[in-house]
Amino acid sequence: MAKNPQLNANGELKHLLSIEGLPRDIISAILDTAEPFTEVAEREVKKLPLLRGKSVFNLFFENSTRTRTTFEIAAKRLSADVINLNVSTSSTNKGETLLDTVDNLVAMQADMFVVRHASSGAPYLIAQHLESTNRPNVHVVNAGDGRHAHPTQGLLDMYTIRHFKRDFTQLTVAIIGDILHSRVARSQIHALTTLGVPEVRAIGPKTLLPTDVERLGVRVFHDMREGLKGVDVVMMLRLQNERMTGSLLPSPQEYFKFFGLTEEKLALAKPDAIVLHPGPMNRGVEIDSAVADGVQAVILPQVTFGIAVRMAVMSMLARG
Amino acid sequence: MAKNPQLNANGELKHLLSIEGLPRDIISAILDTAEPFTEVAEREVKKLPLLRGKSVFNLFFENSTRTRTTFEIAAKRLSADVINLNVSTSSTNKGETLLDTVDNLVAMQADMFVVRHASSGAPYLIAQHLESTNRPNVHVVNAGDGRHAHPTQGLLDMYTIRHFKRDFTQLTVAIIGDILHSRVARSQIHALTTLGVPEVRAIGPKTLLPTDVERLGVRVFHDMREGLKGVDVVMMLRLQNERMTGSLLPSPQEYFKFFGLTEEKLALAKPDAIVLHPGPMNRGVEIDSAVADGVQAVILPQVTFGIAVRMAVMSMLARG
Amino acid sequence: MAKNPQLNANGELKHLLSIEGLPRDIISAILDTAEPFTEVAEREVKKLPLLRGKSVFNLFFENSTRTRTTFEIAAKRLSADVINLNVSTSSTNKGETLLDTVDNLVAMQADMFVVRHASSGAPYLIAQHLESTNRPNVHVVNAGDGRHAHPTQGLLDMYTIRHFKRDFTQLTVAIIGDILHSRVARSQIHALTTLGVPEVRAIGPKTLLPTDVERLGVRVFHDMREGLKGVDVVMMLRLQNERMTGSLLPSPQEYFKFFGLTEEKLALAKPDAIVLHPGPMNRGVEIDSAVADGVQAVILPQVTFGIAVRMAVMSMLARG
């Protein structure tokens, strides 16, 4: 496999595995490609023929109705044939290996795999296997692998920030919450850095920040009020339910007190700061309803842009 | 929300939530619109482009493969993109509220929600929320909410009766069985009354009739033979399995003896009386196989007309 | 029902229930029809309009994601509307009979049923019922019934053999493994015999061969090395997990020692012998990875041809 498994020999996008390793011009090209797709969504007939006759497999080794739905909609709006495979309940139970499953679907002339897997690196493994079996026309999109990456989420966040703030190079951005266990946070940090954001802040309790988080180029804050001062963009993370009852946190109520985004805390950011959240929200845990439904929240536009970004990625892969 | 949440300012259908509150001319318009769709189903190519590029979400908070299938077929025959969401196993488990789920799907440019929910009023809640968030182009179809309503079932029953009997104003109609727990029965009674049926009879054991059923404008019979005399239309209800083992009924065998429709009891109705059943049937409990498969049964035509009625509702909503 | 329920009065394919009873010219017609479909799969737009507007129901009474996926892809490439019904979790639980379920789907204007059922004969029962209720335009494809038949698997094997070996009448073919419990093996033996293969060998331990297997026209071998000598085609069977732990076999390791296909054993066959496996493979149980991934294996082409064969069957049924 070439040094960068995501790009082909001409430097074009071949797989989307992680924002790490995506050059700035590819990220910008994805955001640019997504822009006209947001208009498609508002048409009477929300269809484009770009993936007509292509077979897209949603290969979900762990259940995520929400993510699967966004990819299914994106693929259908591009006129692809979409096949949903919930592999957790399927032939892997029959003793078949991951790569045998992939080989079989490739033999059925799959054009694209949207892969969700609990293990970090599974989409890489599939991409590598396609490479080594010489299948240049089959593409992989990582839809979340373990704690590692969830690149379309990171990209839709970038789209949203660019839409509302235009110029990345003037921004201070805060990422708040469980950065340790978040597959979203890593993607976000890499994307922001690559796009030239001069200051990225990581805000959270010590138990939920990676020990080496500063090496990613972020400033660390354990005091949310301190960290929010003067920021342009507030990126909230979802607190996983399993963390709330674990030993890392005292209680959801305590968490909300210190790291929940309230109107009072948000007032410390710039007056025109925007608030992002990847969803689904835990209202009253990491975010207060007044903020979630308030004028600074751009959480629903994120969802809309997310469809356009996924259409952009899929159409760029199919074109390549 | 306006007084009648189902109609827009021009009096056109905006949501289908319940037959209660639907004006007679809207009910008639649905039945009229359905008529040509029954012919589509007999063509070689059973497709119309009326919902092309529209995204229809089957939002099922309780499982009902049968009902989901009828809506899926109807939407696909209208060329919609259909996304099935079994929400019982999905993000509501992650602590997201019903309305956050709806907001997210609306942000994905949903055009229509077909909603099934165990709680009465959930489809109303969604419609109200769409209203208050100013989403006039997103429509809700109630596919069954708790014990409350199942309006497309009621409408397909009306279509069936009109198809075989033409004039509602000359009919005597008997509804037989577990009216207390039936979401179908209420829809039926309202529809029949609205369409001008002069006599609607409710037949069943005291334990399975609502105490105030006479206020709905029906005549009550506890003796099935008495109630069947001279009727034109026999509408059987399904006996839910959970009733059979509960304290409301002695046993399925006893129930069949008194309220099961046999050829002998059916002979008390008019000779050309038709027999309806919403399915799935419990043969030998509420209906004898000789009747279910007999010449007076119109149970399978009901299913066929049900697809046409659902296509009619969806196309009227999309047009509005 | 006519003597051969699979053919109509003109001798054309009406249902595909089993390879038993299919005349040689029908089998050849299916293989011939499949041939151009393998090219469709390599086009940019893998779509043909042959089933446009037709409703294909995947009626799966037992779960098999793999088989369901192959039929779903085949039907979508023919532009059908595909409805997946996992009936094990559905209305049969509500007390509805199999034939009531079928009647309901027919009333929804189903054009084709792809049926998977744990009971031998279920697809026959459905075909017979369609016949007796006079539904000549609704077709049944058996996607596996109990231990009985899995005809599209047998047909894709024949397609594969013909593709690589051209002339059936010169071949020696070995079928190896759990012939007793295999729904595939019976289909294979019948197909090979019908197509004129002069020598079919059944290789396996005594406990996994039917007592009367020789009556099917095969030569029996309990020594795999003996049986492999000079064969042109090696058809491996999957060892079901439940057999491995049962009383019929000592252990998977023992099984592999005696009946697992290794390079060393394969060397006893002709040098240009091909190796087939219906998948999913148990590597290290019935087949060694060196063989599964070796140059003689045609296991992935089988999958590709399987889509084309299913497209051929569906298009021939729809045309009839």
What is the C-alpha separation between C260 and C178, in angstroms, rounded?
12
Token pair recorded at residue A246: 């674990």
Mean pLDDT of C232-247: 83
In the predicted model, what is the mean pLDDT of chain B? Answer: 92
pLDDT digits (tens, 9 = 90+) for A6-64: 999 999 999 999 998 899 999 999 999 999 999 887 787 889 999 999 999 999 998 88
pLDDT digits (tens, 9 = 90+) for B2-35: 468 999 999 999 999 999 889 999 999 999 999 9
- CB-side exposure of C82: number of CA atoms within 13 Å? 22
Token pair recorded at residue A280: 């689904």
CATH of the domain at C245: 3.40.50.1370
- CB-side exposure of C282: number of CA atoms within 13 Å? 20
Mean pLDDT of A86-98: 65
Token pair recorded at residue C267: 């060397």
B70 touches chain C (CB under 8 A): yes
Q: Is residue B192 part of a domain?
A: yes
Q: Which residues pair with A234 in a beta bridge?
A: A174, A275
What is the C-alpha separation between B123 and B59, in angstroms, rounded?
10
Which residues of chain C from 187 to 226 reach within 8 Å of chain B, CB to CB? none
C199 lies in the same domain as C218: yes
What is the C-alpha separation between B27 and A49, in angstroms, rounded?
38
- CB-side exposure of C28: number of CA atoms within 13 Å? 9
**C109 contacts in B (CB within 8 Å)?**
41-42, 46, 73, 304, 307
- pLDDT value of position C168: 97
A209 lies in the same domain as A299: yes
C132 touches chain B (CB under 8 A): no
C122 lies in the same domain as C234: no
- pLDDT value of position C1: 43
Token pair recorded at residue B164: 């075989």
- For the cut 50, the answer to whether the pLDDT of residue B291 exceeds it is yes
- pLDDT value of position B308: 97
- For the cut 80, the answer to whether the pLDDT of residue C244 exceeds it is no
Judged by DSSP in three states, B41 sits in: coil
- pLDDT value of position B186: 84
Q: Which residues pair with C60 in a beta bridge?
A: C86, C116
C264 lies in the same domain as C141: no
A137 lies in the same domain as A226: no
Residue C91: band (very low, low, confident or very high) from pLDDT cuts 50, 70, 90: very low
Partner residue facing A65 (CB), from B52, B90, B100: B90
In the predicted model, what is the mean pLDDT of chain C? Answer: 91
- pLDDT value of position C94: 57
DSSP A253: H
Mean pLDDT of C80-89: 85
C53 touches chain B (CB under 8 A): yes
Q: Is residue C4 part of a domain?
A: no
Alpha carbon of A196: minimum distance to chain C alpha carbons (Å): 38
- For the cut 70, the answer to whether the pLDDT of residue B90 exceeds it is no
Mean pLDDT of B242-252: 74
- For the cut 90, the answer to whether the pLDDT of residue C216 exceeds it is no
C83 touches chain B (CB under 8 A): yes
Partner residue facing B91 (CB), from A66, A300, A306: A66
Judged by DSSP in three states, C131 sits in: helix
B280 lies in the same domain as B166: yes
C185 lies in the same domain as C120: no
Q: Is residue C210 part of a domain?
A: yes
**Adjacency order of strands within the sheet including C172-176:** C219-221, C199-203, C172-176, C233-236, C274-276
A196 lies in the same domain as A134: no
- pLDDT value of position B92: 46
- pLDDT value of position A91: 47
**Residues in CB range of A15: below 8 A, 6 or more apart:** A5, A6, A123, A127, A139, A140, A141, A142, A317
Q: Please give the helix or strand (H or E) that residue A106 lies within, else none.
A: helix A98-107
C62 lies in the same domain as C168: no
Phi, psi of B85 (to 5 degrees): -120, 110
Q: Is residue B93 part of a domain?
A: yes
Q: Is residue A252 part of a domain?
A: yes
What is the C-alpha separation between A229 and A206, in angstroms, rounded?
19
C247 touches chain B (CB under 8 A): no
- pLDDT value of position C22: 93
In the predicted model, what is the mean pLDDT of chain A? Answer: 91
Q: Which of B110, B51, B82 is nearest to B312 (CA)?
A: B51
Mean pLDDT of C205-221: 90
Q: Is residue A7 part of a domain?
A: no
Q: Is residue A251 part of a domain?
A: yes
What is the C-alpha separation between A211 and B201, in angstroms, rounded?
74
Mean pLDDT of C209-224: 91
Count of beta carbons in the 10 Å neighbourhood of residue A16 = 27
Q: For residue A289, give its domain range.
A: 151-303
Quote the number of domains for chain C.
2
What is the C-alpha separation between C44 and B301, in angstroms, rounded?
42
CB–CB of A300 and B109 under 8 A?
A: no
Amino acid at C267: A
C264 lies in the same domain as C180: yes
Alpha carbon of B53: minimum distance to chain A alpha carbons (Å): 4
- For the cut 90, the answer to whether the pLDDT of residue C191 exceeds it is yes
- pLDDT value of position B110: 96
A299 to chain B: closest CA residue? B104
C63 touches chain A (CB under 8 A): yes
- pLDDT value of position B165: 98
List the subunits that have 3+ CB pairs under 8 angstroms with A: B, C
A100 lies in the same domain as A28: yes
Mean pLDDT of C233-247: 82
- pLDDT value of position B200: 97
What is the C-alpha separation between C54 and A109, in angstroms, rounded?
23
Q: Where are the beta strands (DSSP E) in chain B?
A: 55-60, 81-86, 112-117, 139-145, 172-176, 199-203, 219-221, 233-236, 274-276
C54 touches chain B (CB under 8 A): yes
What is the C-alpha separation between C23 and C14, in angstroms, rounded?
13
Q: Is residue B6 part of a domain?
A: no
A79 touches chain C (CB under 8 A): no
pLDDT digits (tens, 9 = 90+) for A256-304: 999 999 999 999 999 999 999 999 999 999 999 999 999 999 999 999 9
Mean pLDDT of C83-90: 77
ipTM of the complex: 0.91
Highest mean pLDDT among A30-44, B54-68, B157-171, C133-147: B157-171
Residue C285: band (very low, low, confident or very high) from pLDDT cuts 50, 70, 90: very high
pLDDT digits (tens, 9 = 90+) for B120-163: 899 999 999 999 999 999 999 999 988 778 999 999 999 999 99
Residue A320: band (very low, low, confident or very high) from pLDDT cuts 50, 70, 90: low
C97 touches chain B (CB under 8 A): yes
- pLDDT value of position C261: 98
Q: Please give the helix or strand (H or E) that residue A142 lies within, else none.
A: strand A139-145
Residue C3: band (very low, low, confident or very high) from pLDDT cuts 50, 70, 90: low
Please indicate whether residue C210 or residue A89 has the higher confidence score (pLDDT).
C210
What is the C-alpha separation between A201 and C281, in angstroms, rounded?
50
Among C100, C104, C106, which would you mutate to test the B interface (most chain B Cβ atoms within 10 Å of its Cβ)? Answer: C104
Percent over 70 (pLDDT), chain A: 95
**Residues in CB range of C313: below 8 A, 6 or more apart:** C13, C16, C30, C141, C152, C155
Please indicate whether residue A207 or residue C266 has the higher confidence score (pLDDT).
C266
- pLDDT value of position B212: 85
A172 lies in the same domain as A298: yes
CB–CB of A87 and C65 under 8 A?
A: yes
Among C60, C61, C72, C100, which would you mutate to test the B interface (most chain B Cβ atoms within 10 Å of its Cβ)? Answer: C100
pLDDT digits (tens, 9 = 90+) for B172-190: 999 999 998 887 888 899 9
What is the C-alpha separation between B228 and A125, in angstroms, rounded?
69
